[in-house]
Chains A and B, each alone.
Chain A
Amino acid sequence: MMGNLIAFREQLGDTRLAMPEPLSREAKDGIERLASFPTTRDEAWKYTRLARVAALQLSPLAHYQQPEPSECSETIDVIFEPHGWFCAAPVEGLIIESAGNLAPEDWQACTTCGHVQYLNTLAAQGGACLTIKAGYEIPKPIRIIHRAKGENFAMVLHHQINVEPHSKVQFELLYEGQGQEAYANILVDFFIAESAHVHVDKWQNTQGTHYGFYNERIYQERHSTFCLHTLTVNTHFTRNDVEVFSQGEAAHTKLYGVFLGGENHLIDNHTFVHHMAPNGSSDENYRGVMKGKAAGVFNGKVKVYQHAQKINAFQSNRNLLLSSAASINAKPELEIYADDVKCSHGSTTGQLDALALFYLQARGISKEKATEMLVGAFCAEVVESVQSKHIQRAFAAYFSS
Chain B
Amino acid sequence: MLEIKSLCASINGTEILKGLNLSIKAGEVHAIMGPNGTGKSTLASVLAGKEDYEVTSGEISFDGKNLLELSVEDRAREGVFLAFQYPVEIPGVSNVNFLKTAMNEIREHRGLPALSAKEFLTLVKEKSALVELDASLASRAVNEGFSGGEKKRNEIFQMAMLEPKLAILDETDSGLDIDALRTVAQGVNTLKTGQNATLVITHYQRLLEYIVPDFVHVLFDGRIVKTGGKELALELEDKGYDWVKA
Contact = CB atoms under 8 A, between A and B. Distances in A.
B90 A360 contact: yes
A380 B91 CA distance: 10
B105 A369 contact: yes
Contact of A359 (B51, B88, B109): B88
Contacts of B109: 364
A365 interface: yes
B73 interface: yes
B190 to A, nearest CB: 20
B46 to A, nearest CB: 12
B98 A363 contact: yes
Interface residues on A, range: 20 to 34
A140 interface: no
Contacts of B98: 360, 363, 365, 373
A397 interface: no
Interface stretch (B76-84, B223-231, B233-241): B76-84
A381 B98 CA distance: 18
B162 A364 contact: yes
B43 interface: no
B191 interface: no
Interface in B84-113: 84, 87-88, 90-93, 97-99, 101-103, 105-106, 109
Interface residues on B, range: 20 to 34
B92 A365 contact: no
A366 interface: yes
What is the predominant secondary structure among interface residues of chain A facing chain B?
A: helix
Contacts of A366: 73, 105
B93 A364 contact: no
A376 interface: yes
B180 interface: no
Contacts of B93: 360, 373-374, 376-377
B158 A363 contact: yes
A380 B101 CA distance: 18
A361 interface: yes
Interface in B213-227: none
A361 B72 contact: yes
Contacts of A362: 48-49, 72-73, 75-76, 81-82, 84
A246 B22 CA distance: 70
B105 A356 contact: no
A358 B90 contact: no
B90 A361 contact: no
B76 A364 contact: yes
Contact of A365 (B75, B82, B101): B101
A65 to B, nearest CB: 46
5 contacts: A353-B90, A361-B49, A363-B99, A365-B98, A374-B90
Given A362-B76, A362-B82, 13 more contacts: A358-B72, A359-B84, A359-B88, A361-B49, A361-B76, A363-B98, A363-B158, A364-B77, A364-B105, A369-B101, A373-B101, A380-B92, A381-B92
Interface of A: 353, 355-356, 358-367, 369-370, 373-374, 376-378, 380-381
Interface of B: 48-51, 71-73, 75-77, 81-82, 84, 87-88, 90-93, 97-99, 101-103, 105-106, 109, 141-142, 158, 162
